[in-house]
Amino acid sequence: PPESGVDNTYVHTLDRQYVFHSWAQQGSLDPMVIAGAEGCRVWDYLGRSYLDFSSQLVNTNIGHQHPKVVSAIQAQAASLCTIAPAHANLARGEAAKRIVTKAPAGFSKVFFTNAGADANENAIRMARLYTGRSKILSGYRSYHGNTGSAIAATGDWRRVPNEYASGHVHFFNPYLYRSEFWARNEEEECERALQHLRRVIECEGANAVAAILLETIPGTAGVLLPPKEYLQGVRKLADEFGIVLILDEVMAGFGRTGRWFAFEHYDMAPDLIVFAKGVNSGYVPAGGVIISEPISRYFDDHFFVGGLTYSGHPLAMAAIVATLDAMEAEGVVENADAMGNGPLAAGLQQLTERYAIIGDWRGVGVFHALELVSDPVYKTPLPGAEVLKLKQQLMENGLLVFTVENRIHVVPPCIVTAAEVEEGLAILDRVLKNYTASR
């Protein structure tokens, strides 16, 4: 322990007495204590270590405690900790330049926020100001954040108790395993999902729709890779009706899919790109919107009515610069591609073939979900309590994963090694084998 008297019990007790947690009924919590972390591992005060295949909240793309990022934050803290957003600052300019360089041609500026939700909030604001329209169309199977418009744009259940913002309309995004369109294959799913979206636009009044907001690959909703042609089809609909297309790359961006941006897999580009998490792996909170040329130019002579005290905070910006430079120099995105689409995908496919409880496996790069079912024919979702039991057993065996509803999300850092992939897969195999045998 770093300080005498500090142990798991002390930290747990402090937390339970004073800390109010996100998305939780406070009385029944039993948070895991984490004392430290490095690379793909975290550990507690007893020295119990875990392979972190959750990347925390799918954000530590560069792994924990990367020395170059840590020292860049230290150096920035020693020279300038904070500065108002109106001033020009070296770290902010360098961060914006690097982000624009990673984006496709036609993107010119970056607006920085504190995280993903307020990045979506501001992308929505930009689209409304730019088009003079108000409605925002987004997928039911999505999560966009927990501020006013971001939670109203969210499609999953967390929207409902938070519906304060207006002008949000939802549609069904593609999900072949549980098709809303009775589709039998990817082609039908794509065609019918696009026709459904066209009808939603027409019924809502195309002239009232400011933006279509989509996670390029819905993440928390289950790593729902869209059919190859779907996003191109959405792009065409947006162009046909003069609608701004916003892609939320908060979870999928900055290496997670084995590319800098997930939409690079789909040969298309949006008008606004929303990012956070992987841009600096969350070492200091940051997010933002990458703005395409026409929208950026529009605001040259139109006032942008938005801003945040910590927009482009120097510590976050220094972390972005160091993260992106290190990812580039160390081939981190290439590693996510090689490990994720190589041994990790092969191993998850084998597990899917071996265990009937895995009804569906979807993924790309280091972004995978195993959908668990109690009956593979009827695709009955495995009850949440059983998924938690499995999660607990995985932890007892030293593996941290991200679980949502009836799914295990296998989302290691982009720096994961072949040995770590093998170790993680072996734990999954062992736990699934024991679980299946005991049912």
Which positions touch ligand PLP (CB under 6 A)?
Answer: 57, 115-117, 120, 143-145, 215, 219-220, 248, 250-251, 276, 287
Closest by Cα among 277, 160, 135, 163 to 219: 277
User: Least CB distance from residue 52 to ligand PLP, whole Å?
Assistant: 16
Q: What is residue 85's DSSP assignment?
A: T
Least distance to ligand PLP, CB of residue 161, Å: 17
Q: Are 123 and 274 in contact (CB under 8 A)?
A: yes
Closest CB to ligand PLP among residues 276, 390: 276
Residue whose CB is less far from ligand PLP, 248 or 420: 248
Place of tokens 């290691």: 412
Residue least distant from ligand PLP (Cβ): 116
Structure-block tokens of residue 341: 């689409």
* Cα dihedral sign, 12-18-24-29: positive
Per the rule left: phi > 0, alpha: psi between -120 and 50, beta: everything else, 403 is beta
Nearest distance from C-beta of residue 199 to ligand PLP, angstroms: 25
Instruction: Indicate the SS3 state at residue 409.
Output: strand
**Rounded least distance, CB 257 to ligand PLP, Å:** 13
Considering beta carbons, is residue 138 or 406 the nearer one to ligand PLP? Answer: 138
Toward ligand PLP, which CB reaches closer, 214 or 291?
214
φ and ψ at residue 289, rounded to 5 degrees: -125, 130
CB of 47 to ligand PLP, least distance (A): 30
CB of 355 to ligand PLP, least distance (A): 27
Helix (H) or strand (E) holding 352, with range, is: helix 345-354
Q: Which helix (H) or strand (E) holds 168?
A: strand 168-171
Q: Which is nearer to ligand PLP, 194 or 224 (CB)?
A: 224
What single-letter DSSP state applies at residue 172? P
Closer Cβ to ligand PLP, 220 or 335, answer by number: 220
Please, what's the b/e burial string for 338-370 (b: 16 or more CB within 10 A of its CB; e: otherwise)? ebbbebbbebbeebbeebebbbbbbbbbbbbbb
Give least dist CB 87 to ligand PLP, A: 25
Q: Are 395 and 50 in contact (CB under 8 A)?
A: yes
Query: Where are the extended beta strands (E) located within 332-415?
Result: 358-364, 367-375, 380-381, 399-400, 402-404, 407-410
Beta carbon of residue 273, minimum distance to ligand PLP (angstroms, whole number): 12
| Closer CB to ligand PLP, 248 or 337, in the complex | 248
As measured in angstroms, the least distance from the Cβ of 252 to ligand PLP is: 7
CB closer to ligand PLP out of 130 and 143: 143
Which CB atom, from 189 or from 215, has the smaller least distance to ligand PLP?
215
Terminal C-alpha separation, the chain: 40
| Token pair 């459904």: residue | 196
How far apart CA 51 and CA 57 sit, in angstroms, is 14
β-pairing verdict for 287-292 and 168-171: unpaired
